[in-house]
Structure 1
Amino acid sequence: MRTPRRLRPLGITLLVTLGGLALVVVLAYGWGQRRELQAQSQQASQQLDLYAQALTQRIDRYRALPEVLALDPELRQAVAAPMDAATRERINRRLEDANRTTRSATLTLIDRNGMAVAASNWRLPTSNVGQRYDFRPYVIQAMREGHGRFYGIGVTTGVAGYFLSEAVRDPAGQVLGVIAIKIELSVLEQEWLRAPDTVLVSDDHGIVFLSSAPEWRYRLLRPLDPLAQQQLRDTRQYEGQGLRPFEYERVRVLDDGGEVDRIGEPRLSGLWLWQREALPDSGWTLHLLHDASGVKTAGQQSAIAAGLLWLTLVFVSLFMEQRRRLTALRLRSRQELENLVKRHAEELRTQQDTLVAVAQQADTGLSRRLEHLPQGVVIIDAELRLVAWNSRYIDLFRFPSGLAQVGRPIEDIFRYNARRGLLGPGPIEDAIARRLEHLRSGKPHMRESEKEDGTVLEIRGNPLPDGGFVTSYADITSYKNTARDLRSLADALEQRIVERTADLEQARQEAEQANRYKTRFVASAVHDLLQPLNAARMFVSALRGRLQDAEARDVADRVEGALAAQDAILASLLDISRLESGTLQTRVHDFALHPLLDALAREMGMLAQARGLRLDYVPTHAVVRSDPMLLRRIVQNFLSNAVRYTARGRIVLGCRREGEAIRIEVHDTGPGIPSHRQREIFEEFRRLDDAVAAERGAGLGLAIVERIGRLLQHRVSLRSTLGRGSVFAITLPQGDAARIPAAPADAPVQDDSLLRGCVVWCVDDDPRVCEATRTLLERWGCQVPVAAGPDEALAMAAPATAPQLVLLDLRMGELRGPDVHAALVQRWGRSPQVILITAEQDADTRALARENDWGFLAKPVKPPALRALMTQLLLRRGVSGEE
Structure 2
Amino acid sequence: MTRRHRRLTAVLLLAAAMLASAWGAGRIAQERALRRLSAQAAGQLQLRALALQRFVDRYRVLPTVLALDPVLRQALEAPAGRVDTAALNRKLEQANGLTHVSTLTLIDRRGVALAASNWREPSSNVGLDYGFRPYFQLAMAHDHGSFYGIGVSTNVAGYFIAEAVHDADGRRIGVVVVKITLDTVEREWAGDPATILLSDAHGVVFLSNRPAWLYHPLQPLAPAAAQALHATRQYGEQPLRPIRARTVARLADGGRRVRVTQPPLAHEVLWQSIALPSQGWTAHLLVDTREAAHAGWRAALVVLGGWLPAILLGLFLQQRLRVARLRQRSREELERLVAHYAGALRSTQDSLVQAALQAAAGDPDCLERLPQGVSVVDKQLRLVAWNRRYAELMQYPSGLLRKGRPVEDLFRHNAQRGLLGPGDVEEAIQRRLDYLREGGPHTYERERPDGSVLEIRGHPLPDGGFVTSYADITAYKDAARELRTLTATLESRIDAATREQRLATAAAHRANRDKTRYVAAAVHDLLQPLNAARLFAGALREPLHGAGGRALLARVEHALQALESQLTSMLDLARLDAGGFKTQVADVPLSPLLGELARQFGIVAQARGLRLDFVDTRAWVRSDPVLLRRALQNFLSNAVHYTPRGRVLLGCRRDGDQLRIEVWDTGVGIPDDQRELIFQEFRRLDSGVDADERSAGLGLSIVRRIAQLLGHDVSVRSWPGGGSVFAIRVPRAAPAEAGEAPGAAPAADTDSPLVGRRILCIDDDTQARTAMTVLLRRWGCRVDTAGDAIEAAMLAGSAPAPDLVLLDYQLGDTTGPALLPDLHRRWGCEPPVIVLTARNDAGVRAELETAGLRFMLKPVSPSRLRALMSRLLAHHG
TM range (shorter): 0.3 to 0.5
> Bigger radius of gyration, 1 or 2?
2
TM-score normalised per structure 2: 0.48
